[in-house]
Structure 1
Amino acid sequence: MRGEVRKVQLTGGATLIVSLPKEWAKRIALAPGDEVIVVTQPDDTLVLIPKKLGKRTGVIAELTINQPVDIAELERLFMTLYIGGAETIVVRFSPKAMGLRKQMKEFIRRRIVDMEIVEEASDRLIVQSMVSATELAVMDIAVKMLRLVGNMLSDLMIGLDKDDVSLLKDVIERDDEVDRLYWLMERQLKRAAMSRYVMLELKIDDPRDLVEYMIIAKSIERMADHICRIAYVNQEEKVDMRVLGPILSKALEFLRHAEILLTSEAPAHRIAELQGEIMSWSQKVRREETLSDPATSIAKESAVRIGEYVGDIVESLGRIRLKDKAIIIGEEAGPSS
């Protein structure tokens, strides 16, 4: 990485100052009186963030379709721009591709959380973010995802116990909402990676945490997938709740404890304890030899994975909360007499 070497000057007898690069200041129109945010990094370097950069117009992206394509391919391309952090996406349709406009419009309304269609014509859709990037903190999204999945798991157990087909179908449909929040989390983390100002506004103090939040979101999304997998398997062949029930109950218990840790300043030992409990439970359940039918065996594997994903969430939370801190286990011994 190239940089400029500048000398630190002393002014007023006690204040240290350093001049800013002229070309950089000119490029962003920095003027006397403008405010900057100075952030100390984990390695004791400093990052300087002009506040005006946080108010810049967001990225505008375009997607032009000149020929008929599979709608799934078009959806994937749109999601690439969305997750990449575009604030406005203009989708243009040539006369040959206008038939895709209605399908694309339905996809956007059904699957995108924080954007709306603000302009529509026969040959284009203009989709714009309705929420500021800084209004959706990543921890809030993670908690919302975890609560949603917790309710899915609870209703899955009720549906399996009572053989309630409509409830199990409803559980499967809720997976779409988990996906919407997961994509939003990806989008927010990409925005944070592109701007230190946005990162701070999203209440992420350390760049290392971006990876951990991604692990948390992906773990929750995978939990939802396994819940749906169990519901689908049960449609083909009824699973044995004598085998599955205790595993799902324990996984739900772990999930509720993890939710408490996410929403509170839990002591270090509690995070470590829960992680240890989940690891011990997982090893014990996997060692148990249970005779069961194929459907129950498949469902059991998914149930165990749900609990293990909670462990991944707790592990990442520990890395966010406990880094660079002194960890003390037990009470400090008093002076010997």
Structure 2
Amino acid sequence: MEKNDSTEVRKVQKTGGATYIVSLPKDWVEENKIKPGDGLMIRRLEDASLQIIPPGTQEKKVAEAKIGTSPDEDPHKIARKVISLYLVGYNLIHINSETKFSPIQRKVIKNYVKEKLIGAELIADSPSEMTIRILLSYPELSVKDALRRMFLIASSMQKEAISALEKLDRVTAEEVVRLDDEVDRFSMYIIRQIKIAVQNPRTIKSIGLRNARDCLGYRLIVKSVERIADHAASIAEKVKLIHKPLNKGVLREIQNMSAFVNAMLEKSMLALFKEDYNLAEEIIAEKERVKPMEERATKLALEIPGEDSINVRLIVESLRRIAEYSSDIAEIVLNLTVAAQVIT
């Protein structure tokens, strides 16, 4: 037997003509209180290695957390603690006040639970204690399903923001801004699931992914989709500030640019879920076509008088940033699918 730190090399022996045997390290057997006749679980991993699990071993779960607060503490600071606990995988969160919660603290915490945290419910609410339980389990909403929902909302937000620009429809623009919170909810849910999976690799397949590399790739994609939604919301915010309808020339350029950029976004989603390496390559190449579109629209925007010109240029800039994030997603798809391109 060769030993190096925590790694040991043990020789395979053959017995009975067809059975292969490897002895177990004595200290590991004693540490796990294994006795002759006990059953061990052996799991084959994707890299062809084997994982040996002693009897009685349970999945490690981060279950319950308690945090304290005072009536004068910033309610948003409390809410950020709750979100952090949600993201790292706690299923039961108790918030205890030294005396009692202030009305604004109670309102902010309830709003965060309702609007930001998927699967979270306030199950206890007293003057000095609030308890939040996370009820949603992995099979009910996989990471891929949640990310697909994020993509669809972000794409719709961009389309609706440009539609609002065409008519200077402030009601539609406000609705687009509101949808950004929905994207954030799915984003935090996915991050929570990925962090749990990274802490316990046995759960990776339970959340709909295959391996740790998928976890990293999807985490980066989630961030890009979140930023795309932020820029769509930013476009809607700028629409609310524009005073006069745009002339047909600049509006046509923005519409054409938006349609092209939105197609990039939707193709990046298709490339990801179809694991299409070649389509991802096409998206990356298309990014170069966005720059001249931006230059034409910006040039026309400079002719608009007053602050409207600034807001229109910022809209154009956000469209360019959406294209760049779509290209970033395509690059991650290349990394996730390049193994299939290797000739063996």
The normalised TM-score by structure 1 is 0.84
How many angstroms does 1:287 deviate by? 5.6
C-alpha separation in 2, matches of 1:323 and 1:175: 35
**Residue type of the alignment partner of 1:110:** E
What is aligned with 2:261?
251
What is aligned with 1:335?
none
Contact 1:229/1:302 (CA < 8 Å) preserved in 2?
yes
What is aligned with 2:83?
79
C-alpha separation in 2, matches of 1:199 and 1:248: 36
Contact 1:93/1:101 (CA < 8 Å) preserved in 2?
no
User: Of the candidates 59, 68, 72, which is equivalent to residue 68 of structure 1?
Assistant: 72
Listed one character per residue, the Cα deviations across residues 232-281 of structure 1 (whole Å, up to 9, x for unaligned) are 11222256423321111111111222232233243x3222122222x322
What is aligned with 1:193?
198
Question: How many residue pairs end up in the alignment?
Answer: 322
User: Of the candidates 141, 147, 152, which is equivalent to residue 142 of structure 1?
Assistant: 147
C-alpha separation in 1, matches of 2:83 and 2:90: 10
What is aligned with 2:222?
217
Q: Give identity over the alignment, percent.
A: 24
Local SS of the residue matching 1:259 = helix
Are 1:181 and 2:186 an aligned pair? Answer: yes
Distance 1:71 1:4, change over 3 A: same
What is aligned with 2:306?
none
C-alpha separation in 2, matches of 1:62 and 1:111: 20
How many angstroms does 1:206 deviate by? 2.7
Moved more, 8-17 or 244-253: 8-17
Contact 2:43/2:50 (CA < 8 Å) preserved in 1?
no
User: Of the candidates 32, 36, 41, which is equivalent to residue 25 of structure 1?
Assistant: 32
Are 1:92 and 2:92 an aligned pair? Answer: no
Local SS of the residue matching 2:32 = helix
Contact 1:60/1:88 (CA < 8 Å) preserved in 2?
yes
What is aligned with 1:270?
279
What is aligned with 2:289?
281
Distance 1:327 1:257, change over 3 A: farther
Local SS of the residue matching 2:212 = coil
Contact 1:9/1:16 (CA < 8 Å) preserved in 2?
yes
Moved more, 48-57 or 182-191: 48-57
Distance 1:158 1:50, change over 3 A: farther
Q: How does 1:26-45 map to 2 (within 5 A)?
A: 26=33, 32-33=38-39, 35-41=41-47
Contact 2:168/2:242 (CA < 8 Å) preserved in 1?
no
C-alpha separation in 2, matches of 1:274 and 1:51: 50
C-alpha RMSD over aligned residues:
2.9
Contact 2:224/2:328 (CA < 8 Å) preserved in 1?
yes
Are 1:151 and 2:156 an aligned pair? Answer: yes
Local SS of the residue matching 2:94 = strand
The normalised TM-score by structure 2 is 0.83
Contact 2:280/2:330 (CA < 8 Å) preserved in 1?
yes
C-alpha separation in 2, matches of 1:290 and 1:46: 62
C-alpha separation in 1, matches of 2:165 and 2:60: 51
Distance 1:49 1:138, change over 3 A: farther
Moved more, 113-122 or 228-237: 113-122
Choose 1 or 2 for highest CA Rg.
2
C-alpha separation in 2, matches of 1:182 and 1:138: 10
How many angstroms does 1:91 deviate by? 1.2
C-alpha separation in 1, matches of 2:140 and 2:58: 13
What is aligned with 1:334?
none
What is aligned with 1:314?
330
Q: How does 1:127-138 map to 2 (within 5 A)?
A: 127-138=132-143
Distance 1:203 1:17, change over 3 A: farther
C-alpha separation in 1, matches of 2:328 and 2:53: 33
Distance 1:243 1:68, change over 3 A: same
How many angstroms does 1:15 deviate by? 4.0
Runs (5+) with no aligned partner, structure 1: 329-337
Distance 1:164 1:66, change over 3 A: closer
C-alpha separation in 2, matches of 1:208 and 1:84: 19
How many angstroms does 1:216 deviate by? 0.5
How many angstroms does 1:58 deviate by? 3.9
What is aligned with 1:305?
321
Local SS of the residue matching 2:274 = coil
What is aligned with 1:331?
none
C-alpha separation in 1, matches of 2:254 and 2:213: 37
Moved more, 57-66 or 307-316: 57-66
